[in-house]
Structure 1
Amino acid sequence: MSSRQSSAVELREIRHFHLFCGLGGGARGFNRGSARVGNMQAIFRCLGGIDVSAAAIRDFERLAGVPGTVLDLFDADQYAAFHGRSAPADWRQATPQDIQRAAGNERPHIVFLSAPCKGFSGLLAEALSLTDKYQALNQLTLRGVWLMLEAFQDDPPELILFENVPRIARRGRALLDRIVALLRHYGYAVAETTHDCGELGGLAQTRKRFLLVARHQKKVPPFLYEPPKRSLRSVGDILGRLPLPGDVMQAGPMHRVPSLQWQTWVRLAFVEAGSDWRSLKRLRVEDGHLTDYALAPDQTWRNGVLGVESWDDPAGTVTGNSRPGTGSFSVADPRWVSSDRWRDGQQYGVRRWNDTSGTITGVKSPGQGTFAVADPRHGGPAKFNNVYRIVPWNQPCPAVTSSRDGCIADPRPTSGFEGQGKYRVTSWEEASGTVISSSTTGNGGFAVADPRTGWPDSAHTSKLHVHRFEEPARTVTGSDRVGSGAMCVADPRTDERRSGALGVAAWTDHTGTVAGESLPSNGSFAVADPRPNLQREKGDAYANGGHYGVIGWSDTANTVSGSGQHDNGAWSVADPRHQDGNDRPDEARLPTAQDRLVAVIRSLDGTWHRPFTTLELASLQSLVDPEGYLELDGLSDADWRERIGNAVPPDAAQAIADTMGTTLLLAWSGESFMLSAMPIWVQQIAVGISLDQAAAQ
């Protein structure tokens, strides 16, 4: 009985508390922490968190599962310096008692501080970081530590972790020295470490961070561990499990594609996958325009006008008019010489699908970091791939559709038509074909190439003759066609306004000369008829037929038929949007540089270079599983992205919690040393816990 009792698991609660908690990523990770030493097993419980943002606290309560506290930790002078004005009358400075109340008046074993880092970030110019505003923000790091130490001075927390950007070690050196001195005064051994959140949590991003580890020397003796590392994952491992970007019905509003300026989309499209904005420096630009590329709306034109074939696709049928403007007679040639190796960077960086992401920061636009991905899922192959397709004679025909434009490569010679020589013209010296009962030119060789033209012989002096204006006309015969006699006159009364192609004569003017091919496009063979078509009556073949009909812009169209051509019905529209180059249908023009929109530009590598969606950023931060659902406070993508970028990745926080939990269980069990290969992922943190850098020196 006693043996079974001795082997029973003893549960030990480890309480953690968070200052500058943000949306609760660190608290969520600590809640998932686990540790076991012998028969002692840790259970992590969050006491609460403090942040100045009410929206962040609402997110914290949702992710951490405990109440949070909205509290401004500035003192009065810092408030005035940061906001540029004095604090309002109802504002008051935070006190140590406020910290105690935020922790539910309980004592934590671990305190995690992730103070605002904008003033130390490399994304902020150093001159700007020295202004009063950002110096006041930096001072929060020291004030937050002091308030926490004062609040729990009667029973200090065993472990304190202070997390920030790596640049704090240089820009905030003076503040760090004061923080270290303050911690030592309260009985802590202190070590400054660095870590990569991606390696701690097995994430698909690299996230270098600074971590100051403080161990209360009386409560926690030193320990040493030998942990393994976790490999980084590729960005595609995470994003590939999410729905396609823009699918808000399935993934929620956080998965909408950000609306960017058109010029930003174009820049992203020309960034090489795996590289950054420096790719753009290799493009030739003159007067603000690309000299080697042209942009056009991505649309499938049925007739293949200006079509460009992929390098590995077959070409279209070569015709007698194979020019770039008449079909797919161009090719996307991939044979180019790169002048530089792909390099990693920050601005306009585009990640390959199988690479890790760059660090997720508080900034959120593609122009501020590697926040875009070369997504190979760009919608599949182009449609209408059977247009202008020629079916070989010995292969089956594709599915018959409503279109009548099918073609076949017919091997049967076209010189004759079942031996009859359809439309054949017999030469002068050879015999005619057999005269049959249907002896018209369309039924056989019933025409002859007669060399006896007779022109200008007297036999045909009236054929296509044109009279002078001052001469009398020939006899008017029963055949009034221009090819049957002298039915034309050289009229000197030209009218420059209507003498050209598509000329229209006024109702009271005479028409132009009637020629052998009197079409509207080659002369003044039209008239402005003032008589409205309402004069037509029911039964007229053209009444309401709408031949070459044009619909008014504000009218409704007629019923769409199976053969709706422009010359057999009212299948045209009077489009008023034609005044200038910018007043064109939206689908026929490119956006201006500042137009904000969601675009899919298929880049030179065949992928969609696009920014991460907010949900993808949250997944890369391990705030949500790709198969899960995340809902943050508010409706602003900008606010969501800032809070996500400032968050501690929960998976990395869980790895830290595991190490801290093991350390505390060892201390509570009376162990003083342990060398282990157990899966603890935070080597630098474990070493930081075990050492006092000042003592080591």
Structure 2
Amino acid sequence: MEQTMTTHYKTAAVLFGGIGGESAGLLQSQVEYGGKLYKFKLLCSIDSDPVACRNHDLITGEKTAVVMDLFRRWQYEAWHEQQPPSHWREMTPWDIWLAFGQQVPFFLFTSPPCKGLSGLLPQNKANSDKYQALNFLTVSGLELALQACDEYGGNVPAIIQLENVPRISTRGKKLLKQIKKLLQKYGYAVSIRADHNLGEIGGLGQNRVRFLIMARHEAQIPNVIYYPERKPLRTIGDIIGPLPFPGDMTAGGPLHRMPKLARKSWEKLMAIPAGGDWRDLNTFEFEKYRLQHEPRSGAWAVEDWNLTSRTVTGGAGVGRSNGVAAISDPRMNLGEGTHSNIYRLVRWEEESPCATGATGSNNGALSVADPRLSERDSRHPAAYRVAKDDEPAPCVTGTRFGSGAIAISDSRVNDRAGRYTNQFKMQSWLEPAKTVTGDTDIQSGAQLISDPRCRTILQPDCYGVQEWDMASKTIRGASRIMQSASSIADPRMKCAPRADTMGVQAWDVPAKTVTGTADIHSGAAAVADPRIPEPDERCVMIIIAEDGTWHRPLTTFEMAMLQSFPQFLPDGRPFQLEGCSDAKAREYIGNAVPKDAAEQMGNVVLLAGAEAEAEVSFELSWNPVWVVPFVEPMTVLVH
């Protein structure tokens, strides 16, 4: 009998959801427990930024984003430093209740703005009224959601999670006290820690330490919430290695554009060793280095007929370009007047055609199909193979020689009893000769000698090449290049090319006529380009550093992949964000909760809900516990 697993959905809502990192992760979460499959159903993701909400729906593939400003009036005035427009109004618990679809979510996740709590912001700015108003969203947003659920739903979320930067534990101490008091008021057991590494939770290619609050409503979830399994961190190369090459916006989308930096910034990146930072510039000995152009490979390359060609470039030519210019073409392309006996193969049993003075099969020399080594389909591929004595032997089979048995080029000389000791005897030039016998073969005893009179030591100036602008060396009687410096580096062209060959045109004059065969070897096809980047000019440069690598900034697309966003959107396009600049896209991506980490944290939330539904309040497990049941301390009387 086939058993089908029923799917049970737990509802979830997200405050300050941004572009949907948390939402995308929750939608991927699933847990099997007690014959049931548990998943999340996303009620809404609330954010004040309409562009972020638009991209949230683009990434998740669901229309669940709700544009809603959770500022109170005093917060709006302090942050924007002006009065709100006439159409603006404060959100009420009823507005939140409508956004929740008039139901209490099982899981509430909130990730309030962290800009004022981050260590990247100077302390004096963080203490200003502007950023204090922004920071208060951590309290006001959560309070508004709890009021909505309690007043209109008669209950509160079973589990609440808050994510922020670790610095909130110091800069937001007062806020955390208010949050803890608020949660305990509604009956939550609370875990507050600032050492959660989302990189280990999600198995990411980055270290991402974050502050997390996990709150479990004790009446609804009497059991524990387990901590997600920690995974080994991956490397940057593991993540971005399989991605398209940076700058390939066709395969990687518009966010995969290489950032343009000032030339001096590229040079600084080149000087900083891998794993280092700006402080290493103080020890860089710039006097010992210089930038040098290195042409790309590909010149003189011959394409394989059966493989995909390299890129065709406008200046393609054999030996002068890295573009495709030559191919190993198997086609003969013989004309109508070609003689019929070219590449002619005569049968063994036929009479021979007329023998001519042709010396090659390509111009008429005879070839014959010799049957004396009959080829057949079943012939072993190793037939008549001779193996070297210093390489591994082929597979030993039971076949005979000619059918695949092994042959070897044995370098050993057979040393049998009775062999004379003077066979292959090499005598020294400085010693008396052995007895002269009548043997004429070195194998039988004919004498050999190591004659030193064949001198192979090169003398000075052998194969010498003299410089054009230097005085010549002494002329000697030697007439060959291997005996004297009788060669010269002659800069003169020994031909009379047409005018403008290798011509370089000036930048500030009209160009000469462009022809269909324009090339530096046949015309003025070069220009004296003065556009060498200035130190502050922004450009894309590939500078190979001393360690042989290209020190470059990550593209925005690669940043998104490190945050575990999907490489492709639900509509099939490469990951991209719409309606924002590249800088704003980086901000959205950097503020997001990594999708894979959100998925793993969502799994333990679902498991806790499944166990509570099954009324499992205690079990033995090796898994670490995140939020334990609250136990009243026992009063002990000490005598």
What range describes the TM-score normalised by the shorter chain of this pair?
Answer: 0.5 to 0.7
CA separation in 1, counterparts of 2:227 and 2:589?
A: 32
Q: Name the SS for the 2:30 alignment partner.
A: coil
- 1:640 is aligned to 585
Q: Say whether 1:554 aligns with 2:510.
A: yes
Structure 1 residues 8, 125: CA separation in 2 closer, same or farther (over 3 Å shift)?
A: same
Amino acid in the other structure paired with 1:638: A
- 1:176 is aligned to 176
- 2:543 is aligned to 601
Q: Say whether 1:130 aligns with 2:122.
A: no
CA separation in 1, counterparts of 2:591 and 2:278?
A: 24
Structure 1 residues 202, 695: CA separation in 2 closer, same or farther (over 3 Å shift)?
A: farther
Q: Spell out the pairing of 1:427-506 with structure 2 (5 A cutoff).
A: none
After superposition, the C-alpha distances for 1:9-38 in whole angstroms (9 at most, x for unaligned) are 443210100000000110110111111222
CA separation in 1, counterparts of 2:32 and 2:634?
A: 29
| Partner of residue 17 from structure 1, selected from 13, 17, 22 | 13
User: How much has 1:39 moved relative to structure 2?
Assistant: 2.1
- 2:391 is aligned to none
Structure 1 residues 99, 563: CA separation in 2 closer, same or farther (over 3 Å shift)?
A: closer
The question of whether the paired residues in 2 share the 8 Å contact of 1:164 and 1:211 is answered with yes
Q: Name the SS for the 2:75 alignment partner.
A: helix
Q: Report the aligned-residue RMSD.
A: 3.8
Q: Name the SS for the 2:56 alignment partner.
A: helix
Structure 1 residues 595, 693: CA separation in 2 closer, same or farther (over 3 Å shift)?
A: farther
Structure 1 residues 556, 385: CA separation in 2 closer, same or farther (over 3 Å shift)?
A: closer
CA separation in 2, counterparts of 1:611 and 1:554?
A: 39
- With structure 2 as the length reference, what TM-score do the two structures score? 0.63
Q: Name the SS for the 1:118 alignment partner.
A: coil
After superposition, the C-alpha distances for 1:641-660 in whole angstroms (9 at most, x for unaligned) are 11110111111001011100
- 1:89 is aligned to 86
The question of whether the paired residues in 2 share the 8 Å contact of 1:97 and 1:151 is answered with yes
| Partner of residue 289 from structure 2, selected from 279, 290, 293 | 293
Amino acid in the other structure paired with 2:64: P
The question of whether the paired residues in 2 share the 8 Å contact of 1:191 and 1:693 is answered with no
CA separation in 2, counterparts of 1:219 and 1:597?
A: 58
| Partner of residue 71 from structure 1, selected from 62, 68, 71 | 68
CA separation in 1, counterparts of 2:317 and 2:523?
A: 26
Amino acid in the other structure paired with 1:74: F
Q: Name the SS for the 1:35 alignment partner.
A: strand
Q: Say whether 1:276 aligns with 2:277.
A: yes
User: How much has 1:555 moved relative to structure 2?
Assistant: 3.7
Amino acid in the other structure paired with 1:96: P
Amino acid in the other structure paired with 1:14: K
User: How much has 1:60 moved relative to structure 2?
Assistant: 1.2
Q: Spell out the pairing of 1:265-344 with structure 2 (5 A cutoff).
A: 265-283=266-284, 290-296=286-292
Structure 1 residues 42, 277: CA separation in 2 closer, same or farther (over 3 Å shift)?
A: same
Q: Spell out the pairing of 1:326-475 with structure 2 (5 A cutoff).
A: none
Provide structure 1 residue ranges, at least 5 long, that are not aligned to the other structure.
Answer: 285-289, 302-382, 388-398, 400-409, 416-424, 431-541, 578-583
User: How much has 1:224 moved relative to structure 2?
Assistant: 6.2
Provide structure 2 residue ranges, at least 5 long, that are not aligned to the other structure.
Answer: 298-315, 321-327, 329-457, 465-473, 478-495
Structure 1 residues 696, 53: CA separation in 2 closer, same or farther (over 3 Å shift)?
A: farther
Amino acid in the other structure paired with 2:561: S
How many residues are treated as equivalent by the alignment?
Answer: 443
User: How much has 1:203 moved relative to structure 2?
Assistant: 0.8
The question of whether the paired residues in 2 share the 8 Å contact of 1:99 and 1:151 is answered with yes
- 1:306 is aligned to none
User: How much has 1:134 moved relative to structure 2?
Assistant: 1.0
- 1:614 is aligned to 556
- 2:116 is aligned to 119
The question of whether the paired residues in 1 share the 8 Å contact of 2:42 and 2:64 is answered with no
CA separation in 1, counterparts of 2:117 and 2:501?
A: 74
Q: Name the SS for the 1:291 alignment partner.
A: helix
CA separation in 2, counterparts of 1:608 and 1:546?
A: 38
CA separation in 2, counterparts of 1:665 and 1:42?
A: 7
User: How much has 1:598 moved relative to structure 2?
Assistant: 1.4
- 2:214 is aligned to 213
Q: Say whether 1:250 aligns with 2:238.
A: no
Q: Say whether 1:161 aligns with 2:161.
A: yes
The question of whether the paired residues in 2 share the 8 Å contact of 1:550 and 1:570 is answered with no
Structure 1 residues 181, 229: CA separation in 2 closer, same or farther (over 3 Å shift)?
A: same
Q: Say whether 1:198 aligns with 2:136.
A: no
CA separation in 1, counterparts of 2:611 and 2:124?
A: 47
Structure 1 residues 692, 163: CA separation in 2 closer, same or farther (over 3 Å shift)?
A: farther
- With structure 1 as the length reference, what TM-score do the two structures score? 0.58
| Partner of residue 44 from structure 1, selected from 37, 40, 43 | 40
The question of whether the paired residues in 2 share the 8 Å contact of 1:551 and 1:571 is answered with yes
The question of whether the paired residues in 2 share the 8 Å contact of 1:190 and 1:692 is answered with no
- 1:317 is aligned to none
Amino acid in the other structure paired with 1:675: L
Structure 1 residues 637, 570: CA separation in 2 closer, same or farther (over 3 Å shift)?
A: closer
- 1:54 is aligned to 50
Q: Say whether 1:624 aligns with 2:580.
A: no
After superposition, the C-alpha distances for 1:186-228 in whole angstroms (9 at most, x for unaligned) are 1211111331111111111110011101111111103264864
Structure 1 residues 694, 585: CA separation in 2 closer, same or farther (over 3 Å shift)?
A: farther
CA separation in 2, counterparts of 1:93 and 1:48?
A: 19
CA separation in 1, counterparts of 2:260 and 2:584?
A: 15
Q: Name the SS for the 1:203 alignment partner.
A: coil
The question of whether the paired residues in 2 share the 8 Å contact of 1:239 and 1:626 is answered with no
Structure 1 residues 563, 549: CA separation in 2 closer, same or farther (over 3 Å shift)?
A: closer
Report the identity percentage.
37
User: How much has 1:105 moved relative to structure 2?
Assistant: 1.8
Amino acid in the other structure paired with 1:192: I
After superposition, the C-alpha distances for 1:274-301 in whole angstroms (9 at most, x for unaligned) are 22222112125xxxxx434333555579
- 1:346 is aligned to none
Structure 1 residues 122, 414: CA separation in 2 closer, same or farther (over 3 Å shift)?
A: closer
Amino acid in the other structure paired with 1:219: Q
The question of whether the paired residues in 2 share the 8 Å contact of 1:18 and 1:113 is answered with yes
After superposition, the C-alpha distances for 1:548-600 in whole angstroms (9 at most, x for unaligned) are 999672142475989977xxx97598x8x8xxxxxx622xx3x2232111121
Q: Say whether 1:32 aligns with 2:33.
A: no
The question of whether the paired residues in 1 share the 8 Å contact of 2:228 and 2:601 is answered with no
CA separation in 2, counterparts of 1:138 and 1:89?
A: 25
